[in-house]
Amino acid sequence: MTPSVPLRTTATETGTGSDAAPAVLPVEAVVRRFRFELTAHLGSAAQARRMTRAWLTAWAVCEDTCDSATLVVSELVTNAIVHTSSRQIICELQDEDGKVRIAVGDEGRAHGDPNPAAGRDGEEHGRGLLLVSAVCSAWGALETGPGLQVWAELPREAEDRRPEPVADVVRGTGAEWVS
């Protein structure tokens, strides 16, 4: 089945504390928000990934954060589809104050809050929220009437995780650190 086009989308970009055009404001002072709705079927997770990457790239979010956000959106949308009786899934991306916030809402869910659970060896499912927890600086869930909104935050710019250069050449091996 081919995923349908998003049911509804909205995009906003506003400056905080000023009437100046967003192009004049520094990145930290601009709030960017993109909201879209998808039908609740498994093909929608791929569509959510594509839309997330496209918008975050347009907002000049770093590649590492785009990769992490794409993973998080995929996991949250898939959970909303698999674990609820929703017909629509609502996704929201927000870029503000040095962080990217992702929220995925559903129309109805199973009882209990979402919890990361270690999957058993050999199982293909059950590790999604562990991944979300591992890559995000914060995440949580909010009741939204009959549904649930699961949110996650990532730093806008990923930390530089390269190892520190070695001060001296390692003697006798012919190897040295090149940066």
Q: What is the pLDDT of residues 12-69, one digit of tens each?
A: 766 544 434 344 445 556 789 999 999 999 899 999 999 999 999 999 999 999 999 9
Residue 2: inside a domain? no
Q: How confident is the model at residue 179 (pLDDT cuts 50, 70, 90)?
A: very low
Greater confidence, 141 or 20?
Answer: 141
Report yes or no: 115 and 129 within 8 Å, Cβ to Cβ: yes
* Best CA proximity match to 34, nearest among 101, 86, 81: 101
pTM over 0.85: no
Q: Within a domain: residue 143?
A: yes
**17 within some domain:** yes
Q: What is the CATH number of the domain that holds 147?
A: 3.30.565.10
Domain count, the chain: 1
* Residue 146 is assigned to a structural domain of this protein: yes
* Residue reference for tokens 């975050």: 56
Residue 178 lies in a domain: no
Nearest in space to 31 (alpha carbons), one of 50, 45, 11: 11
Write down the pLDDT at residue 15.
56
pLDDT at res. 151: 93
Whether residue 165 lies inside any domain: the answer is no
The pLDDT of residue 30: 79
Residue-level pLDDT at 161: 47
Q: What is the pLDDT of residues 96-138, one digit of tens each?
A: 989 999 999 999 855 555 555 554 555 555 567 788 888 888 9
